[in-house]
Amino acid sequence: MIELEQASFSYGGGDILSELSLHLAPGTFHFLTGPSGSGKSTLLKLCFMELQPTRGQARIFGQDVRQMDRDEVARARRRIGIGHQDCQFIDHLSIAENVALPLEVSGQDTSAAEADLRELLGWVGLSGQTAQLPPELSGGERQRAALARAVIMSPDVVLADEPTGNVDWEMAQRLLALLVELNRMGKTVLVATHDLNLIRVAKAQVSARVLRIVRGRLQAAGADL
C-alpha cells in the first residue's frame, strides 16, 4: 500500500526524518508516537504525497512517487483519506458540505450519500453542527470534522494526525471505535497520537503495531504500551 525505504526529509539544512523505512500492508493498523516536533505530521504528509523524500524512496500502491504525474497522484490520493491536525476547511460552506466535498470533487452524487453522511457526522458527534460554518466550531469539533471528511470516500488507507487531541475521553473512544471498525473492514489505518491510554485501549480490540519517532528515526515502541 504505502512503502518508505531509507527515506529522509530535510528542511532548513537539517533532517527532520532520517533514513526511515515503513511498510503499511493492506488491512494493518499502526500507531505513530513521538514528542511534539519529532516529525509525525511530516511522515503522514510523505504518505499522502504532500511531500517527497529528500533522499530515499516512497512507493504508493506500487508506484514510485517521483515518477508519478499529477493525474496519477490525484488518483492515488482518492484511495487515501487524511485527517490533518491543522485541518483546512472552506469557511463559507457548512460542515456537512465540507465533509461531503470529496464526494462532489470525485463526481459522485452527494444526495445519494446523504444517509451515510448523516450517520458519519453522528458517529463523530457533530449531528447538531451540520449547518454551522467552520469558524464557528471549536478545535476539537474541527478535528472530528476532518476525520469524517477523511473517511467519507471509504478510502483504502486512513491517515489520522492526533484525531483525539482536543476531545474528551468518551469522544476519543468513539473516534477510536470508528477507526477500529474501518480496519475490520480491511482498511489500512495509521494514527499519529500522544495518547498512550488510547493505544492501550486499541490494542485490546485490534492487532496494532506501535511505532515511535526518536531523533528523526523510526523504531518499534516498547512492549509495555
Total count of domains within the chain: 1
Domain membership flag for residue 40: yes
**If DSSP codes are grouped into helix, strand and coil, which group holds residue 208?**
strand
CA dist 204 and 206 (Å) reads 6
pLDDT of residue 225: 45
Domain membership flag for residue 111: yes
Domain membership flag for residue 165: yes
Domain boundaries, position 53: 2-220
Residue 17 maps to which CATH number?
Answer: 3.40.50.300
pLDDT of residue 112: 67
Residue of 113, 144, 143 lying closest to 126 (CA atoms): 144
DSSP 8-state secondary structure symbol assigned to residue 156: S
Domain membership flag for residue 225: no
Per-block average pLDDT, block size 10, for the chain (225 residues)?
94 87 95 91 95 95 94 93 88 94 80 82 91 92 91 94 88 92 95 92 92 91 54
